Structure formats: structure tokens, C-alpha cells
Amino acid sequence: MTLDAKLKLKLQFLMRVVRKESEHLAFTDGRLFASEFTLAQVKSFEVDPNLAEQVEAFVGRFCRLQDTVGDKLLPQLLFAMGERTASHIDNLDCAERLGLIESAEGWMTMRNLRNQMVHEYVEDPAILLNALQTGHLFVPILRTATNNMLLEIERRGWI
């Protein structure tokens, strides 16, 4: 399938962006979770601004990559592949069917982590810790989905 130049440029741009975002997330994830991340560390944010900054970087990079892939790259890729794009969950279901993501349900779980990582930040350190640890477990899944989409674009010669 030949793509029009505008769509091809958009896909190429998104590829560059998500590659960088994925690498940045991997770097921050590796630093933050180099050893066991504990409740005591979460409770120490007020006296350890460097750690608080690392957590902010992890949360921001996790959410940004997921948003860019799920809300921008995936719909453009599905459209380029000749698939009908629709609601976010419909696009995820299609991506799961095509083998681009492991699970639409898992993706929605990742998406819901945002609320716990962002909105519960100040109020409940235990909820934040759980959300961060869960986010850490999802990083490889998110990066694999990202890579699957990039490989699909490359396989089709749209780079």
C-alpha cells in the first residue's frame, strides 16, 4: 500500500518521537527501580527532592509514552493500514487483534494508573507506591507495544 506523503511524514515523525520517549522512560525506570523501591522512599519525598524529581520524571515519561502511542501513533498506524479507527477502546481492540499490543484490557489498566500516580501523589503514599511499582511492571509491555508498532511501519516500508 502506498501512503500519501503527508501521512508518511506524520508516521515518520511519530516514530522518532516514540523512540525517544521509550528510551527516556527506560532510562528513568532503570534508575528509579535499580533496587527495591519502598514506602519509606515515597514518604521521604519532602526531604529528598532528587528522589521526588525522579518519580516525577518516571510518571511523566510513562504517561507521555502511553499517550503518544495510544492516542497518536496507534490511530495513524491503523488508518495507514486501512483499518477503521474509532474510539480509543475500539482502536486498542483492533491493535490487540493485529498483534500490535498484548491486551486491550492491560492497556486500559496502564492508562488508569495515571490517576493513582498523579492524583493520589500527595494523599496516600501506599497507593502511590503500588501505582509506581505496577507502572514499573508495565514498562516492558508498553515498550514492546511501541516496538511492535514501529516494526510494523518499517516492515511496510513507510519509513
Hey, where are the domains in the chain? Answer: 5-155
Measuring CA to CA, which residue among 83, 86, 113, 114 is closest to residue 100? 83
**pTM reported for the whole predicted model:** 0.91
Alpha carbon separation from 83 to 71, 75, 96, 99, 146 (Å, rounded): 15, 9, 13, 14, 18
d(CA 25, CA 36): 18
Using pLDDT thresholds of 50, 70 and 90, give the confidence band for residue 1. low
pLDDT digits (tens, 9 = 90+) for 46-61: 899 999 999 999 999 9
Find out whether 19 and 140 touch, Cβ atoms under 8 Å. Answer: no
pLDDT digits (tens, 9 = 90+) for 60-98: 999 999 999 999 999 999 999 999 999 999 999 999 999
pLDDT digits (tens, 9 = 90+) for 102-142: 999 999 999 988 877 876 556 788 888 999 999 999 999 99
CB within 8 A of 43, min separation 6: which ones? 125
Find out whether 76 and 14 touch, Cβ atoms under 8 Å. Answer: yes
Find out whether 110 and 66 touch, Cβ atoms under 8 Å. Answer: yes
Statement: residue 148 has pLDDT above 80: yes
CB within 8 A of 74, min separation 6: which ones? 91, 92, 95, 100, 149
